[in-house]
Amino acid sequence: MSPRSRPPLTVPRPDLAEPGGRAVRLLVAHESEAIRQAVRRLGEDAGYEVVSAADGEAALARALADRPDVMVIDVALPRLLGYQVVDRVRERGLKIRTILVASVYNRTGYKRRPSTLHGADDYIEQHHIADHLLWKIARLLPPGRAPRIGPPDPGESAQIRRAGEARLRLRYASLDEGIERARRLARLIVADIALYCGQHIAEGLQHGDLEVRLRDDLEEGRLLFDLRVPEEIRRTRDFIAEALAEHLAERAGRHGQGPEQDRKKGS
């Protein structure tokens, strides 16, 4: 069944607009065009106005200009991570409800319920977008503004899974291109680890034992990375370690402090 031929949604809601006439506005930010379009179809079929962005800087600009009611944001957006977008929206005092999207669909060991949402309201795993996203959005909206929700479309779920797998596929024409794509994959993996292991990271920075606390999770991430990246690329550097260092530097920038100051807070 194609996304456009799904059966009509079964719980009609004619009252999604505010008293002033504006419909509920949803911002979806994801680098995958297929996933952005899938969320757009879900949202528009539910009665939302949907705007979209392909990277973090564009997502922040759309959030400031369009003032959406809900943002659905990939944690590993290019240019600005999803966490950074949430931080900057909060810094400006905007009360936009936010759902983070786990960036990699893979049954790896670090998949568990997040201990922190980095200022967001909820999270969703990419492969559950088609069947769970509208319910999660409904819980964030005031009474009377929840969407129409019908049965999930298996075709939509399959399309989202394929798009998620495409993000993990490493194709390149030169070594330099392969290295850049491998860096992007490592960034995706570390962003997921940061979502699921946020408390471990905070405590590890405070107590100076981050590598010990993340050992198993980083090992799982490396296993996924090694399955996807040829040896000629892997042997050029430790991509996961580099991506983790970059993430910690971005974290330090968000909180206005470095790892050493984080450790002092816990002493």
- Domain spans in the chain, listed from the N-terminal domain onward: 3-162, 169-265
- Tell me the pLDDT tens digit for each residue of 241-254: 999 998 888 777 65
Could you say which of 3.30.1370.60, 3.40.50.2300, 3.40.190.10, 1.10.150.120 is the CATH number of the domain covering 3-162?
Answer: 3.40.50.2300
- Tell me the pLDDT tens digit for each residue of 74-128: 988 888 888 889 989 999 999 899 999 987 645 554 455 555 667 789 988 888 8
- Tell me the pLDDT tens digit for each residue of 184-218: 889 888 888 888 787 888 888 889 998 898 888 88
Amino acid residing at 105:
Y
- 93 phi and psi, to 5 degrees? 75, 15
**CB distance 118 to 86 below 8 Å:** yes
Q: In angstroms, what CA-CA distances link 11 with 45, 143, 148? A: 11, 15, 5
